[in-house]
Amino acid sequence: MRNLLLTLRYDGTHFHGWQIQNNGDTVEARVKAAFNSVSGKSENIIGCSRTDAGVHANMFCCNVRTDCTVPADKIPNALNFYLPESISVYDCREVDFDFHARFNAKGKEYVYLIYNDKYRNPFYENKALFYPYPLDVNEMNKNAKDFIGTFDFSAFCSADSEVQDKVREISECKAEKDGNLIKITVRGNGFLYNMVRIMVGTLLYIQNGKIESGTIPQIIESKDRNRAGVTAKPEGLYLNKVFY
């Protein structure tokens, strides 16, 4: 037996997230089926995280403990033969047998993309949030920095979450503009359910005057989900990096 770490990227537009579900197609189900086709056995795939329906990944890691004898450097091409074009495995390596893609992750980086223009761009459809109103990136960046630190992020967590400990450390949160595209980067040691999307929604609410600028620290302190902004749509969110 050996433990293989797979690294892949995927377009989540037509998937119901990563985790296998009974009510829709998922990335995990496709990767599991592909690996089973390669190994000839039913293998258990362990993902580094869950992603919601419509969310994408530039880097997603998962591990599988298997007695498959295919060399690690041959596995990406073997898996990609069975995977749809929306999923691509681009690395495979052997790791310690006790390595766990989720529990061994030291942190993650998410990117949220906003296409900010009066008119839609079909090349960003389902790949970025279309936002046709003016955005002040300098003001967004100023408020984004208030997320940096170690806090109880209860106000930025979906009410559906059953996680008890909502303290997380955010080491980077910034907004950058490149033409009509705005990129919000958030890096931390862990994230709550819908946390990044609520952070983005709060920054957008500040922009349109629904939340006062400079009040993110008070919202964090309140631990009140109702004081934060809307949960931004999933199509702009990417799991960008996983750190081990």
Residues with catalytic annotation? 52
Q: Which residues contact 35 (CB under 8 A, 6 or more apart)?
A: 43, 45, 64, 66, 68, 79
Angle at which helix 137-144 crosses helix 195-207, to 10 degrees, equals: 130
- For residue 23, the one-letter residue type is N
Q: How many residues does the chain have?
A: 244
138 is written with which tokens?
Answer: 């300098």
Contacts of 208 (CB under 8 A, 6+ apart): 133
Q: Which amino acid is at 142?
A: K
